[in-house]
């Protein structure tokens, strides 16, 4: 296995970001080893040393002024013995009701699902999973559980969305600037008669696949990089006052060499709640959502922490964007400890300010520009954490009993 060693001094809090970036740009990398003085890469084929060095230098420069004291901060850790974020009586009632329905749904699965069948996760290729039997049932049941909570606790309206968005909407939302590395354009086969008739012989022949673009139309749509992007154009021509939408569907992110069939999927299912309102109102909702996220983790019996977090930015403004997220606590994640690996983010709350409201011209009934916020749960990751639960309904009943004891 070819190995490339680069003498480079990196502060330790940058190592995970460097690992992710290198495997994104060079999917042939099998292993990344980083020390205080060296970056060592093991790959399936020889790496272009000049290009690898350029990536390392640019990433290091982008994050150069972010000190270790501005790294992720733990908001709540049950293991520390501190009081949990206070769940409001309204939210506790809604969560209990949704959990009782979840237990009933899972119990029903025991009587309706066949004893033998596709009761497992069936990886198709790296980053794509097929769920059968009990796993498919669990995914749908957990999604319904979260939907019921948002509807009862926040009066949310459910929106069913397609798997793609116009590229113009994604661009207006600023996603080209902050997350272009994950975008997947949808390019249909050409309608030109001559090219169309030549496509099938080309595809079935022994031809260079790099010419495929010659048989495709210019793409106008993008596979969903995030579900909440559907919400903003839906409400741009109506007054927005303390509105709540909930959405469920597929998201698509091409993470290149970081893809696997566990926590890094090419296509994954999200349940989101999207909130519109004044900054003051959303500050109150934010406190409720932090408490709800902790309560959901407790209900499922997860070992977890709530912590501030940052996205990984690929553009030249990464330093400024990262600093802004860290100092404003605009992103809080629920990090769940899996039995066989590192903590995995299964949910997050994201304060947007007016980032989305301004480009879509959103207005309240008083004419002011609202703020927005979203919370999203990665259902595939929730299933991953629950996969070894021998009696999930019983586990949830124990969680409900704990909730009752804390009431």
For residue 329, name the pLDDT band (cuts at 50, 70, 90).
low
Residue 361 near residue 236 (C-beta atoms within 8 A): yes
Residue 69 lies in a domain: no
Q: For the segment 204-262, what is each residue's pLDDT rounded down to a tens digit?
A: 887 777 888 889 999 999 999 999 999 999 999 888 999 999 999 999 998 888 888 89
Comparing C-alpha atoms, which of 118, 146, 134, 135 is closest to residue 297? 146
| Separation of first and last alpha carbons in the chain | 58
For the domain that residue 244 is a member of, what is the CATH number? 3.30.930.10
Average pLDDT value over all residues in the chain: 88
Q: By percentage, how much of the chain surpasses pLDDT 90?
A: 57
Do residues 322 and 362 both lie within one domain? yes
Listed residues 23, 45, 64: the one ending a domain? 64
Q: Does 266 score more than 50 pLDDT?
A: yes
Query: d(Cα 102, Cα 197) in Å, to the nearest integer?
Result: 52
Can you say whether the dihedral through the CA atoms of 12, 14, 19, 22 is positive or negative?
Answer: negative
Confidence at residue 119, expressed as pLDDT on a 0 to 100 scale: 61
Q: DSSP 3-state assignment of 379?
A: helix
Nearest CA among 101, 379, 374, 350 for reference residue 246: 374
pLDDT of the residue at 58: 85
Higher-confidence position of 90 and 113: 90
Query: Residue 347: its pLDDT value, please?
Result: 97
230 inside domain: yes
Report residue 60 as tokens: 């290091």
Task: Examine residue 359 and state whether it is found in any structural domain, yes or no.
Answer: yes
DSSP string, 164-201: EEEHHHHHHTTHHHHHGGG--EE-PBP--HHHHHHHHH
Residue 18 shares a structural domain with residue 165: no
Our count of domains for the chain comes to 3
**Does 364 or 120 have the greater pLDDT score?**
364
Q: What angle do CA 63, 69, 73 make, to 5 degrees?
A: 100
pLDDT band for position 407 (cuts 50, 70, 90): low
Cα gap 384→237, rounded to integer Å? 40
pLDDT above 70 as % of the chain: 91
Confidence of residue 312 (pLDDT cuts 50, 70, 90): low
Which residues have CB under 8 Å from 93's CB, separation 6+?
Answer: 152
SS3 393: helix
State the pLDDT at residue 385: 94
Residues 59 and 204 in one domain: no
Residue 325 and residue 226: Cα distance in Å, rounded? 18
Per-residue pLDDT, 349:
96
Same domain, 259 and 135: yes
- For residue 32, which phi and psi values (nearest 5 degrees)? -120, 125
329 and 362, same domain (yes or no): yes
- Is 105 within a domain? yes
- Asked if pLDDT for residue 283 goes beyond 90, the answer is yes
The DSSP annotation for 27-79 comes to TTEEEEEE-SSEEEEEESS---HHHHHHHHHHHHHHTTT--GGGS--EEE-GG
pLDDT, average across residues 305-327: 56
Reduced to 3 states (helix: H, G, I; strand: E, B; else coil), residue 123 is: strand
Are residue 164 and residue 27 in the same domain, yes or no? no
Question: What confidence category does residue 315 fall into, taking pLDDT thresholds of 50, 70 and 90?
Answer: very low
Residues 234 and 353 in one domain: yes
User: How many Cβ atoms are within 10 Å of 155's Cβ, its own excluded?
Assistant: 10
Domain identity same for 249 and 135: yes
CATH of the domain at 39: 3.30.70
Task: Answer whether residue 220 is part of any domain.
Answer: no
The reply to whether 303 falls in a domain is yes
Q: How far apart are CA 370 and CA 377, in angstroms?
A: 24
Is residue 28 within 8 A of residue 45, CB to CB? The reply is yes
Contact 32, 22 (CB under 8 A): yes
pLDDT on residue 328: 45
Tell me, yes or no, whether 8 and 113 share the same domain: no
Instruction: Assess whether pLDDT exceeds 90 at residue 14.
Output: no
Q: What is the number of residues in the chain? A: 407
Confidence of residue 325 (pLDDT cuts 50, 70, 90): very low
Whether residue 300 lies inside any domain: the answer is yes
| Residue 348: strand, helix, or coil | strand
* Domain span including residue 194: 188-215
Where b means 16+ CB within 10 Å and e means fewer, 130-149 reads ebebbbbbbbbbbbbbbbbb
What pLDDT is attached to residue 284? 96
354 within a domain of the structure (yes/no)? yes
Complete DSSP assignment for 84-108: PPPPPHHHHHHHHHHHHHHHHHHHH
Q: Identify whether residues 125 and 231 lie together within a single domain.
A: yes
Cβ contact 251:227 at 8 Å: yes
pLDDT digits (tens, 9 = 90+) for 103-157: 999 998 877 776 665 567 778 888 999 998 888 989 999 999 999 999 999 999 9
* Same domain? 174 vs 193: no
Q: What is the 3-state secondary structure (H, E, C) of 238-269?
A: CCCCCCEEEEEEEEECCCHHHCCCCCCCCEEE
Query: What is the strand order of the sheet 331-337 is part of?
Result: 74-76, 304-308, 331-337, 343-353, 371-378, 267-277, 244-252, 157-160
Position 321 scores a pLDDT of 46
- Answer yes or no: do 195 and 270 share one domain: no
């Amino acid at each position: 296995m070819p190995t490339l060693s680069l003498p480079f001094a990196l502060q330790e809090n940058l190592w995970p970001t460097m690992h992710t970036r290198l495997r994104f740009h060079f999917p042939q990398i099998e292993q990344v080893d980083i020390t205080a003085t060296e970056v060592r890469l093991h790959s399936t084929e020889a790496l272009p040393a000049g290009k690898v060095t350029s990536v390392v230098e640019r990433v290091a420069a982008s994050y150069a002024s972010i000190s270790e004291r501005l790294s992720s901060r733990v908001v709540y850790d049950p293991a520390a013995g501190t009081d949990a974020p206070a769940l409001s009586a309204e939210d506790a009632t809604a969560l209990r009701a949704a959990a009782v329905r979840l237990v009933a749904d899972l119990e029903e699965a025991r009587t309706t699902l066949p004893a033998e069948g596709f009761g497992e996760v069936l990886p198709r290729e790296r980053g794509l999973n097929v769920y059968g039997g009990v796993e498919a049932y669990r995914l749908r049941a957990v999604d319904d559980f979260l939907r019921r909570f948002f509807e009862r606790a926040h009066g949310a309206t459910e929106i069913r969305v397609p798997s793609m968005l116009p590229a113009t909407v994604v661009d207006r939302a600023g996603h080209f600037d902050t997350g272009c590395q994950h975008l997947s354009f949808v390019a249909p086969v050409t309608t030109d008669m001559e090219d169309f008739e030549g496509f099938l012989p080309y595809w079935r022949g022994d031809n260079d696949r790099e010419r495929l673009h010659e048989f495709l139309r210019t793409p106008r749509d993008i596979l969903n990089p995030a579900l909440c992007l559907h919400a903003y154009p839906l409400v741009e021509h109506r007054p927005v006052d303390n509105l709540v939408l909930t959405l469920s569907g597929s998201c698509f992110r091409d993470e290149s060499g970081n893809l696997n069939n566990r926590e890094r999927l090419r296509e994954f299912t999200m349940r989101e709640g999207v909130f519109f309102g004044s900054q003051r109102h959303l500050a109150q909702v934010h406190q409720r959502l932090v408490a709800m996220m902790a309560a959901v983790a407790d209900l499922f019996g997860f070992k977890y922490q709530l912590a501030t977090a940052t996205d990984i930015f690929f553009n030249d403004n990464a330093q400024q964007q990262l600093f802004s997220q860290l100092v404003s606590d605009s992103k809080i994640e629920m990090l769940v400890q899996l039995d066989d690996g590192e903590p995995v983010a299964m949910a997050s709350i994201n304060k947007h300010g007016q980032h989305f409201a301004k480009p879509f011209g959103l207005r309240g009934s008083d004419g002011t520009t609202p703020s927005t916020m979203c919370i999203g749960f990665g259902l595939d990751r929730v299933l991953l954490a629950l996969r070894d639960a021998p009696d999930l309904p019983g586990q949830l009943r124990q969680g409900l009993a704990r909730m009752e004891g804390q009431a």
